[in-house]
A and B are shown apart, each in its own frame.
Chain A
Amino acid sequence: MSETLLDVRDLRVEFPGPPAVRAVDGASFDIRAGEALGVVGESGSGKTMALRALVGLLPRSARLAGGTIVFEGMDLATASPEQLRAVRGRSISMIFQEPMTALNPVMRIGEQIGEGPLVRLGYGRRRARERALELMRLVGIPDPAERAEAYPHELSGGLRQRAMIAIALSMEPKLILCDEPTTALDVTIQDQILKLLLSLRERLDVSIVFVSHDLAVIAQTCQRVAVMYAGQVVETGPVEQVFREPRHPYTLSLLRSVPDVDNVRHQLTAIPGSPPDLADPPSGCRFHPRCPFVQPDCVAGAFPLRPLGPERATACIHPDAAAADVRREPVLAGG
């Protein structure tokens, strides 16, 4: 097992009310050096807020209400704004969902990519430009010299996202946080961007946190996964194991509800009800009102992640229920 790069414990993000909404309510996960961790959940599960909280990029109306975020020995949750600024964009960078709104519309692409090295690494103008061109080649932007002069609106969605990746790489970070980086893209462009991120991770030895609602995207890009539901992490483990043998009914239900191109089932199993209102979450296990295996002891108490062997953990107190259901009918096609 490689060393832990970032360790998040009991993270809480709150939108002060009334009513107060706990968008993230006690989420714990860790990222190891050189790995890609997927954070999967539906909209409103708190995955984006958890990611933004890591680098102090919460919306103004939200606040970090608790928890520790330990990165290289420093707790980012209690770090001063200066300390945080030294880490953000430098050791930890971020890629957003919609590159059109994340890029500066009135600045040429090449300047945006070279800005970090110019301003923060003390590069000269010429060296910063060379670095920008080198990064553009690295992320597969054709004709870099020409594209460097373009404005974001002159590029296609795929090229814009490549430019975002180049910016994220420009400071040689140790960790890249990706918030649904391909959701706004077409499937063929998504495929290109995912494969680019995969190859960059291997070549540059960076760690990646990959937030997505798409289970298949996580399966293709990540080694480990953290499944979020209603502001909490409900299951963690190696992607293949978690998807093949889920030990939380939510993970299982989610897997059974999505159509898979490779595995045509007669009927998709929908999850009854809808995700809970975070201003007034259900008592006990937050999934219990929608859970097919709910037991009397699920409706009250605390449901933290409990280890299931060295690599896996689940918040479900009846993990055998999901296991038995998978034995009855496998979740994934093929052996």
Chain B
Amino acid sequence: MAEPLLEVRGLSMQFTLRRGVVQRLRRKPQAVLRAVDGVDLELARGEALGLVGESGCGKSTLARCIVGLYVPTAGEVRYEGATLQAERDRATRRRIQMVFQDPYSSLNPRLTVRQTLSELLRAHSLVPKTQIEARCRELLDLVGLGPRALDAYPRQFSGGQRQRVSIARALALEPELLVADEPVSALDVSVQATVLNLLEELQAKLGLTLLLIAHNLAVVRHVCDRVAVMYLGRIVETAPTDELFVDARHPYTHGLIRAVPKLVAGRASQAPALFGDPPSPIRLPRGCRFHPRCPIAQRPLCADVDPPLEAGPGLAAHAAACHFAWTAKPAPHAPEVAAG
């Protein structure tokens, strides 16, 4: 593989939780929430990587660290081989842009689309003053909105159109990497497709590198070349999309895929794909963090030893963090879950 566009090395992001008065008086130690806990990730230029996992697994936090909205507690983010500093300069920020989940709260309600876009173009001196107007029109055209949208305020648009404006805003800075955090989950079913198609189209047309964060595996399967699965702050499996869906090696990935409801009603098993709830990221389980919910966990190995993310024999692109990922799997059993 050529040098990756983006490299994340040992990234961790911890949040210290505030203690109440009582807890402070009792000298309780401050609880630490480890949202991202040692993540390595690479993104090749032009690829679309999907990041999936349940809520609270740290996928949004990871995205925000990459974009520079959070300063990670440990580890580094490298862009074209150079480590990005906590304080990024304008030129670096320009190259990594983000589209947020909720197009209702991520656009300034008091600015027209023209004001939103032209302010960016001016501040980053991307085009000469005389061409700002033309560039604004071009950007709207790119996301499939007509020039009439220029003088409209966000409230005048539907959800899908707002999300297009958000994408146009991100594209105004001519980014190389676009990070989209659940870009369609706040949208109506019938308009999700337009935004997904747009992302795919832009990726092909502009050669964008895309990091798509989604909880919907169907969306990721449709858009992404490669998928990384997160569980409790770690990446537990990463593989090319098609391979992941037919040959998942981590029992969590397997359960996650089985849990997705399908359009064709199969006479599926009555048993749920996975038992229990994800544990709290404040009290991470010892050993493999998935072992309390894992149907193939073996004691004492899985309860004591945290498996590293390892590529399969002869496979550069498929890695999983499970002791049994690449060996004969033990027979599944119902895990002893203390749900809650």
User: Which chain A residues have a beta carbon within 8 Å of chain B's beta carbons?
Assistant: 42-44, 142, 147, 155-159, 186-192, 194-195, 198-199, 213-217, 219-220, 239-240, 243, 253-255, 257-265, 267-271, 274-275, 332-334
Contacts and interface: CB of A to CB of B under 8 A. Distances in A.
Interface string B197-221: 1000000000000000001111101
B340 A195 contact: no
Nearest to A44: B188
B225 interface: no
A59 B6 CA distance: 50
Given A195-B271, A261-B262, 17 more contacts: A156-B339, A186-B55, A188-B255, A189-B54, A190-B261, A192-B275, A216-B260, A216-B261, A219-B264, A219-B265, A220-B268, A239-B265, A257-B190, A258-B192, A258-B263, A261-B260, A274-B191
A219 B263 contact: yes
A264 B224 CA distance: 11
Contacts of B194: 270
Task: Among B215, B217, B255, B264, find the residue whose CB has the most chain A CB atoms closer than 10 A.
Answer: B264
B339 A142 contact: yes
Interface string B304-321: 000000000000000000
Contact of A333 (B188, B192, B264): B264
B218 A191 contact: no
A261 B245 contact: yes
Task: Among A219, A265, A269, find the residue whose CB has the most chain B CB atoms closer than 10 A.
Answer: A219
A219 B261 contact: yes
Contacts of A261: 217-218, 221, 245, 257, 260, 262
A274 B262 CA distance: 25
Contacts of A255: 263
Task: Among A42, A258, A264, find the residue whose CB has the most chain B CB atoms closer than 10 A.
Answer: A258
A147 B338 CA distance: 12
B82 interface: no
B159 to A, nearest CB: 8
Contact of B273 (A191, A215, A262): A191
Contact of B190 (A42, A195, A240, A262): A42
A257 B193 contact: yes
Contact of B217 (A142, A187, A199, A274): A187
Contacts of A259: 193, 196, 216, 218-219, 221-222
A334 B274 CA distance: 26
Contacts of B337: 142
Interface residues of B, number: 45
B133 to A, nearest CB: 28
Given A42-B189, A257-B193, A189 B261 contact: no
A187 B197 contact: no
Contact of A186 (B215, B271, B339): B215
B3 interface: no
A152 to B, nearest CB: 13
Contacts of A243: 263-264
B253 to A, nearest CB: 11
Interface of B: 54-55, 158, 160, 188-194, 196-197, 215-219, 221-222, 245, 255-265, 268, 270-275, 277-278, 337-340
B259 A187 contact: yes
Contact of A275 (B188, B196, B271, B278): B188
B334 to A, nearest CB: 12
Contacts of A189: 54, 277
Task: Among A159, A261, A269, find the residue whose CB has the most chain B CB atoms closer than 10 A.
Answer: A261
A253 B277 CA distance: 35
A187 B256 contact: yes
A274 B259 CA distance: 30
Contact of B215 (A187, A198, A220, A257): A187
Nearest to A265: B222
Contact of A257 (B189, B217, B255): B189
A253 B274 CA distance: 32
Contacts of A275: 188, 190
A267 B196 CA distance: 9
Given A187-B259, A219-B265, A270 B55 contact: no
Nearest to A146: B340
Contacts of B277: 156-159, 189
A224 B240 CA distance: 37
Contacts of B222: 259, 264-265, 268
Given A187-B54, A267-B197, A43 B188 contact: yes
Task: Among B219, B262, B268, find the residue whose CB has the most chain A CB atoms closer than 10 A.
Answer: B262
A334 B189 CA distance: 23
Nearest to A193: B272
A216 B262 CA distance: 5
